[in-house]
């Protein structure tokens, strides 16, 4: 997804509490030097990101092209030195880089085209960033490509603006006595769901149609490639949580946002299956590791990150977990 225009998000909370969202704190992940093996094997999926071992050959799995948005690129996760253009915020510890490393790919056989803020349209058109222009992501595909991962869709449904609006609603919710005087438990849901019509679900349906077209184009450009559509990990818990106040959300809006994220994942899964691609479930292994979970185990940082990551985005632990899910899917498909 798009790294929120964080200065904008910061202004939403009373007293400027979210201004600290741009200040990265210290956590074990900030100096995480966990060694990553260059081989892998099929192992049972667990809630702990683990990377395992067999002996693939690099040409068996590559050339590999990674496509996607900021959940793929890994904004603020060190190191960003090799990100070209710089505005795409690609980390060399994001899940595509870890997958390429695990598969022992030669650097020439790995292209990471992911970019913060990318929508499905940016797969086929150049994307302007705040620091440079990213080429159309599908331009990296060719008849030689053997592996493609694609993690995209969040920006097509406006997830960043949705979070922003829900935070505004949350500030008013708490200022007005936590629903005592309004009788509204989920003010953000009230804005997007009316008369049985869910505006966000409509956006998800549209994104699904766009993704179907994009996947057909991926197949046309890279007919020999195995294609993996990577879903989104658990961002928020499934039930109302005490962390709602910390995130600036009314408690009942927490499950509302969780439901919308799950609906997006369902659409990604369905479109992947229809296109003959493999869906990679990163939600299941991330349950209990959302932005409301303990800082020592979570994959997603909260609004004020305590590890190097963009607010409400995967940290280095989350990118490792997503890489492990991709590797298990590759093993299972063989």
**Residue 178 included in any domain:** yes
Highest mean pLDDT among 13-22, 24-33, 45-54, 311-320: 311-320
Per annotation, catalytic residue among 70, 97, 160, 286: 70
**Residue 164 included in any domain:** yes
Q: Evaluate the omega torsion of the peptide bond into residue 134 and state whether it is cis, within 30 degrees of 0.
A: no
Mean pLDDT of 181-189: 90
Of 85-99, 128-142, 234-248, minimum mean pLDDT range? 234-248
pTM: 0.84
Q: How do residues 48-73 score in pLDDT, each as one tens digit?
A: 444 444 444 455 789 999 999 999 99
Mean pLDDT of 189-193: 95
pLDDT at residue 181, rounded to an integer: 77
313 is an active site residue: yes
Kindly calculate the radius of gyration of the chain based on its CA atoms and give it in whole angstroms.
19
40 is an active site residue: no
Mean pLDDT of the chain: 85
pLDDT at 20 over 70: no
pLDDT at residue 274, rounded to an integer: 98
Q: Which two tokens stand for residue 292?
A: 């409301």
pLDDT at residue 245, rounded to an integer: 79
**Residue 47 included in any domain:** yes
Q: How do residues 119-176 score in pLDDT, each as one tens digit?
A: 999 999 999 999 999 999 999 999 999 999 999 999 999 998 898 899 999 989 999 8
Task: Write out the residue range of the structural domain in which residue 177 sits.
Answer: 6-333
Mean pLDDT of 287-309: 95
Q: What is the CATH number of the domain that holds 162?
A: 3.40.50.1110
Mean pLDDT of 311-327: 97
Q: How do residues 268-284 score in pLDDT, each as one tens digit?
A: 999 999 999 999 999 99
**Residue 202 included in any domain:** yes
Per annotation, catalytic residue among 40, 258, 313, 328: 313
Q: CA distances (Å), 18 to each of 29, 164, 214, in order?
A: 21, 12, 36
**Residue 1 included in any domain:** no
pLDDT at residue 183, rounded to an integer: 85
**Residue 82 included in any domain:** yes
**Residue 285 included in any domain:** yes
pLDDT at residue 17, rounded to an integer: 33
Question: Total domain count for the chain?
Answer: 1
pLDDT at residue 164, rounded to an integer: 85
Closest Cα to residue 103, out of 51, 59, 37, 38? 38
pLDDT at residue 59, rounded to an integer: 53
**Residue 74 included in any domain:** yes
């Amino acid at each position: 997804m798009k790294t929120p225009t964080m200065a904008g998000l910061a202004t939403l909370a009373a007293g400027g509490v979210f201004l600290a969202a741009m200040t990265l704190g210290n956590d074990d992940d900030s100096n995480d030097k966990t060694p990553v093996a260059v081989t892998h094997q099929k192992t049972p999926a667990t809630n702990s990101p683990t990377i395992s071992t067999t002996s693939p050959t690099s040409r068996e799995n590559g050339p590999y092209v990674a496509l996607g948005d900021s959940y793929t690129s890994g904004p603020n996760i060190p190191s960003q030195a090799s990100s070209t253009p710089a505005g795409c915020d690609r980390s060399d510890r994001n899940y595509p880089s870890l997958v390429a490393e695990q598969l022992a790919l030669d650097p020439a056989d790995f292209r990471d085209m992911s970019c913060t803020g990318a929508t499905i349209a940016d797969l086929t058109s150049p994307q302007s960033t705040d620091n440079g222009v990213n080429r159309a992501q599908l331009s990296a595909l060719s008849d030689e490509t053997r592996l493609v991962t694609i993690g995209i869709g969040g920006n097509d449904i406006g997830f960043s603006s949705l979070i922003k609006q829900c935070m505004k609603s949350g500030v008013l919710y708490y200022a007005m006595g936590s629903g005592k005087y309004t009788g509204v438990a989920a003010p953000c849901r009230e804005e997007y769901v009316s008369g049985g019509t869910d505006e966000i679900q409509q956006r998800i349906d549209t994104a699904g149609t766009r993704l179907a077209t994009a996947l057909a184009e991926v197949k046309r450009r890279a007919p020999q490639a195995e294609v993996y559509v990577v879903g989104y990990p658990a961002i928020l818990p499934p039930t109302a949580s005490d962390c709602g106040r910390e995130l600036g959300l009314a408690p009942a809006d927490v499950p509302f946002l969780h439901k919308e994220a799950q609906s997006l994942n369902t659409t990604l899964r369905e479109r992947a299956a229809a296109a003959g691609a493999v869906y990679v479930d990163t939600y299941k292994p991330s349950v209990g590791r959302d932005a409301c979970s303990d800082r020592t185990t979570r994959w997603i940082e909260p609004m004020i990150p305590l590890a190097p990551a963009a607010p409400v985005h995967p940290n280095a632990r989350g990118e490792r977990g997503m890489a492990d899910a991709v590797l298990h899917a590759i093993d299972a498909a063989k």
